[in-house]
Structure formats: structure tokens, C-alpha cells
């Protein structure tokens, strides 16, 4: 069956289309295939105008902005739900009661394409592991490897145009996208689960859950990456995550399970990305690549040539013997702690730029790590920054800047020969930016201007 046959004539509501290109590409694909697409978003038409402009040539796409209306979610063939939509929303409950299926684009791609998928999730490290696997496969095989899931600007449904019977796809999957895999009762053939830490409590506690129940709900979404695997499939994870997985009441772990730690990677295997946590990331990637029969020589060669991921301990520039790192995608305290530990060789020469929106995660360990590793800390505005300021003053006297540009200026003034300027926010970007990518791009631009 042509993939387009699946969509032809269907009535589809696309919820939360976004501005990054993923939802826009999904809507365009379905419209090209002959679906009647209604795009709804609770943002204003002014905010969403770029999406409207991008899809203006499709007469079978219509738009409604502002508060969601139940009538747009009933009597539809399915709802394509954007990542991060609260399942407690009345409109989604209405759709479920009306018998309308909820879908997400990553799992819908898997459902239609039926190609082998290596899926990667985890609180931290999933982007790095995904890109390590994708890079090594591309280098070793010389073949076109599909890359999807939570990838900036990549529409999962547009990938259907490239999918062939012998294709292989690597997908980065966050907890929201894995909700869609749960709805479809699917899991990737090879599942990699990097770690599990506190995150997204601001999302899960909106459902009225206490912290412990919110963490269980968060793990349950993540667990969809292996929950529906067959006995012939493979789960690759750490001992800690595996112990947590065994506590799930409705999961039978009958698939092959491979446990990884950083000792798998030989000491003489050089990696571009510093830190013990990146050696663990490489170990997880190694096990995934072994599961599809690559040799040790092929894997270690591929890992050694992997240059790293934008926004994750990315060395942007060295000026006057001051190294500047972009770690924008560290949006939790634990991720920033890992960055500090990776870069500080005992010199305590790090000037940390951090701050942003609160996720409700405990901050005491971050404060201690700042005291252990930083010469100075510079904070940008946000609700997380406000909470951090209440407890950090006894450890370190921070500089509070009005925005990221001023924070970088302060860091340049403070930096001395041999220092490191590390942008590792520890908090989310919302409130100050449309998304974390906008924050990333601003910092990169600021550094590129710096001579």
C-alpha cells in the first residue's frame, strides 16, 4: 500500500503544530496525500503566522487559533497531537470519548513504514547517543540512514518519502513522543534507554500528581520504548534503569537485555566530547551498533570520528586562551553538574552562565557543584534563577544579568588566561524564548561575534 493511500480522504486535526518545521512538514505531507487537515493551536494567529505562511499553498489545510474547541476534536479520523500537549485537556478527553484515535508523528511513521528502528530515550544523553549511532552507521555502511524523532526541523511523516523496504531509521524519542508509541502499542526493535533522572515535573505535576507519582508517570511514558518489544528485540540500558523497569506492574521483560557502563569503551578510544557521561553514552551506542552486527573495529572507528552535538559541551571558540563551550541543551541541574565535572580538571577555572525557567527540580547538588568547580557564576532571568538565588548566596556570590547578551559580556570581562566560559543553563528556556533552539542560536551568534 502506498503511504499516501492511508491519508487520502481522511479528516485530521493537527494539534500544536509549532514553528520548528516538524509539525509544518507533517501537515504538508498529509495535505499532499489528500487529507483534509485542520490545524489548531492555542497560541495567537500573530505568533503562528509563520506556520500559516509555510502552508498557504494547500487549499485542504485550514487553521483555527485560540482556545481549543471540542467540536474540532470529534468526528475526525484521528488527532495528530503535538509533543507536550497535556492529556488532561478537555478537548483530548472529548476525542477519546468520541472514539477518535490520538496519534503522534514518530510512532505513525513507525506504524506505516514498518522499517527497523533504533530508538533512543533517557533524561539526558539521548541526543548524543542518537547522533553517535547515526554517524557511525552512516560512515561505516555508506548507506542513507534515516534520522527522525526529536530532531530539529525534521518532519517524521516527510521521512515516509525516503523510506524503502531495506531502510534503517534512528530516532531520538522524548517522553512526550513516546506517549504516541504507547497509544499505538509499538516499540522500536532496538531500544536504548540512557538514564532516568528528575525532569519535566512542571508538566507531569500539572495533572495533579505529587512528585513521586509524577516521576512514576514520567517513567511510564519513557518505558513505552521497550514495553511493546517482541522477544526478538533488544533493550540496551544501564543497571539502574533496568532495576526501575522491573518494578513496572504491566511489563514483561522477555526481550534480550544488554546492560552498559563506561568500562565498555577502551581507555585508548578517543572521543571528541569530554566527560565520563559521554563515555557512558558511547558505551550505549556501542551496544546498539553491536546489536546490528557491526564489528568492534567499525564501531570504535566511527565513534572516534564523531565530532559531537550542537549545544552539548560544544567547544565553539578559543579566544586569548579562554575556551567557550555551548551546553545550551543542559536544561536540568544534573546535566549542568555533569558538564562542570567534565570540564573542571581541578583548577576551578569555570565561569558558568546559567539560568532560566523552573522545572521544579531539587537544586542543592547544583549549588554544591557550582561551589566546587566555578570561579564565577552569571545568571540570566527566570523563575528557576529566582529559586536558585535564594540558596546560592552562601556558596557563591553570583552576577545577575538582565539577559543572555549581558551575561556573556560579563563573562568576557571576568575571564582570565586559561579560564573556561561555560553556557550550561540548568533550566528551561520558556518565558524568555520560543524554544531552546532560539536560545542556542542567540548564544552561538554572540560567540561568533566575539574576537
pLDDT at 152: 87
C-alpha 79/C-alpha 101 separation (Å) is 6
Residues 222, 128, 284: CA angle, nearest 5 degrees: 70
- Which strands form 61-65's sheet, in the order they lie side by side? 61-65, 36-41, 11-15, 78-81, 102-103
DSSP code per residue over 94-117: HHHHTTPPEE-HHHHHHHHH---E
Q: Count CB-CB contacts under 10 A for residue 303.
A: 25
pLDDT at 191: 98
Alpha carbon of residue 111 to chain centroid: 21
C-alpha 282/C-alpha 346 separation (Å) is 24
Residues 315, 194, 235: CA angle, nearest 5 degrees: 140
pLDDT at 207: 72
pLDDT at 98: 96
* Pairing of the two strands 314-319 and 322-326: antiparallel
C-alpha 241/C-alpha 228 separation (Å) is 17
C-alpha 148/C-alpha 290 separation (Å) is 21
- 271's CB contacts (< 8 A; 6+ apart) are 265, 278, 279, 282, 303, 304, 306
- Which strands form 146-149's sheet, in the order they lie side by side? 146-149, 169-172, 117-121, 190-193, 234-237, 256-259
pLDDT at 163: 95
C-alpha 106/C-alpha 172 separation (Å) is 9
pLDDT at 356: 96
pLDDT at 21: 83
- 438's CB contacts (< 8 A; 6+ apart) are 429
pLDDT at 87: 82
One pLDDT digit (tens) per residue for the chain, 451 residues: 478 899 999 999 999 898 878 999 999 999 999 999 999 999 899 989 999 999 999 999 999 999 999 999 999 999 999 888 888 899 999 999 999 999 999 999 999 999 999 999 999 999 999 999 999 999 999 999 999 999 988 999 999 999 999 999 999 999 999 999 999 999 999 999 999 998 888 788 877 788 899 999 999 999 999 999 999 999 999 999 999 999 998 888 999 999 999 999 998 888 888 888 999 999 999 999 999 999 999 999 999 999 888 898 999 999 999 999 999 999 999 999 999 999 998 889 999 999 999 988 999 999 999 999 999 999 999 999 999 999 997 777 899 999 999 999 999 999 999 999 999 999 999 888 988 889 999 999 999 998 7
Among 225, 219, 214, 211, which residue's Cα sits nearest to residue 247?
219
C-alpha 285/C-alpha 192 separation (Å) is 8
For the chain, domains (ranges, CATH) are 3-103 (3.40.50.720), 106-304 (3.40.1190.10), 314-449 (3.90.190.20)
pTM of the model: 0.88
Judge contact between 108 and 156, C-beta under 8 A: yes
Site of grid cell 525532569: 199
| Element (DSSP H or E) covering residue 288 | helix 276-291
Buried b (16+ CB within 10 A) or exposed e, 28-39: bbbbebebbbbb
pLDDT at 145: 98
| Element (DSSP H or E) covering residue 401 | none
Amino acid at each position: 500500500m502506498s503511504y499516501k493511500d492511508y491519508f487520502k480522504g481522511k479528516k485530521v486535526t493537527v494539534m500544536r503544530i509549532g514553528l520548528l518545521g516538524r509539525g509544518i512538514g507533517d501537515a504538508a505531507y498529509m495535505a499532499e496525500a489528500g487529507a483534509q487537515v485542520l490545524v489548531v493551536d492555542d497560541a495567537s494567529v500573530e505568533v503562528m503566522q509563520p506556520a500559516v505562511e509555510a502552508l498557504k499553498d494547500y487549499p485542504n489545510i485550514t487553521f483555527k487559533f485560540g482556545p481549543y474547541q471540542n467540536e474540532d476534536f470529534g468526528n475526525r479520523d484521528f488527532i495528530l497531537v503535538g509533543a507536550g500537549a497535556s492529556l488532561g485537556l478537555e478537548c483530548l478527553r472529548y476525542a477519546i470519548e468520541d472514539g477518535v484515535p490520538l496519534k503522534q508523528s514518530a510512532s505513525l511513521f513507525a506504524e506505516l513504514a514498518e522499517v527497523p528502528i533504533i530508538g533512543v530515550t533517557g533524561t539526558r544523553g539521548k541526543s548524543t547517543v542518537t547522533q553517535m549511532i547515526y554517524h557511525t552507521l552512516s560512515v561505516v555502511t555508506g548507506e542513507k540512514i534515516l534520522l527522525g524523532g526529536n530532531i530539529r526541523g525534521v518532519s517524521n511523516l516527510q521521512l515516509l518519502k525516503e523510506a524503502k523496504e531495506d531502510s534503517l531509521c534512528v530516532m531520538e524519542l522524548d517522553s512526550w513522543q513516546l506517549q504516541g508509541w504507547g497509544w499505538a502499542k509499538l516499540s522500536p526493535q532496538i531500544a536504548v534507554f540512557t538514564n532516568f533522572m528528575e525532569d519535566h515535573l512542571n508538566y507531569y505535576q500539572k495533572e495533579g500528581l505529587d512528585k513521586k507519582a509524577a516521576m512514576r508517570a514520567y517513567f511510564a511514558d519513557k518505558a513505552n520504548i521497550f514495553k511493546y518489544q517482541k522477544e526478538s528485540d533488544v533493550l540496551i540500558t544501564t543497571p539502574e534503569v533496568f532495576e526501575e523497569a522491573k518494578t513496572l506492574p504491566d511489563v514483561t521483560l522477555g526481550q534480550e537485555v544488554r546492560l552498559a557502563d563506561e568500562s565498555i569503551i577502551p581507555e585508548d578510544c578517543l572521543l571528541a566530547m569530554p566527560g565520563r557521561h559521554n563515555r557512558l553514552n558511547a558505551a550505549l551506542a556501542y551496544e546498539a551498533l553491536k546489536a546490528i552486527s557491526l564489528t568492534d573495529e567499525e564501531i570504535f572507528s566511527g565513534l572516534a570520528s564523531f565530532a559531537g552535538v550542537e549545544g552539548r559541551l560544544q567547544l565553539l571558540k578559543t579566544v586569548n586562551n579562554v575556551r567557550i563551550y555551548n551546553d545550551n541543551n543542559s536544561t536540568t541541574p544534573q546535566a549542568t553538574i555533569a558538564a562542570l565535572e567534565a570540564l573542571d580538571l581541578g583548577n576551578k577555572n569555570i565561569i558558568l552562565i546559567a539560568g532560566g525557567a523552573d522545572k521544579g527540580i531539587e537544586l542543592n547538588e547544583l549549588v554544591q557543584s557550582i561551589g566546587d568547580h566555578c570561579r564565577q557564576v552569571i545568571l540570566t532571568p527566570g523563575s528557576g534563577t529566582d529559586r536558585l538565588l535564594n540558596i546560592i548566596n552562601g556558596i557563591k556570590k553570583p552576577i545577575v544579568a538582565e539577559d543572555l547578551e549581558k551575561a556573556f559580556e560579563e563573562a568576557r570581562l571576568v575571564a582570565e588566561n586559561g579560564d573556561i566560559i561555560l553556557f550550561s543553563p540548568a533550566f528551561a528556556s520558556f518565558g524568555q524564548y520560543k524554544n531552546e533552539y532560539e536560545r542556542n542560536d542567540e548564544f552561538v551568534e554572540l560567540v561568533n561575534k566575539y574576537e
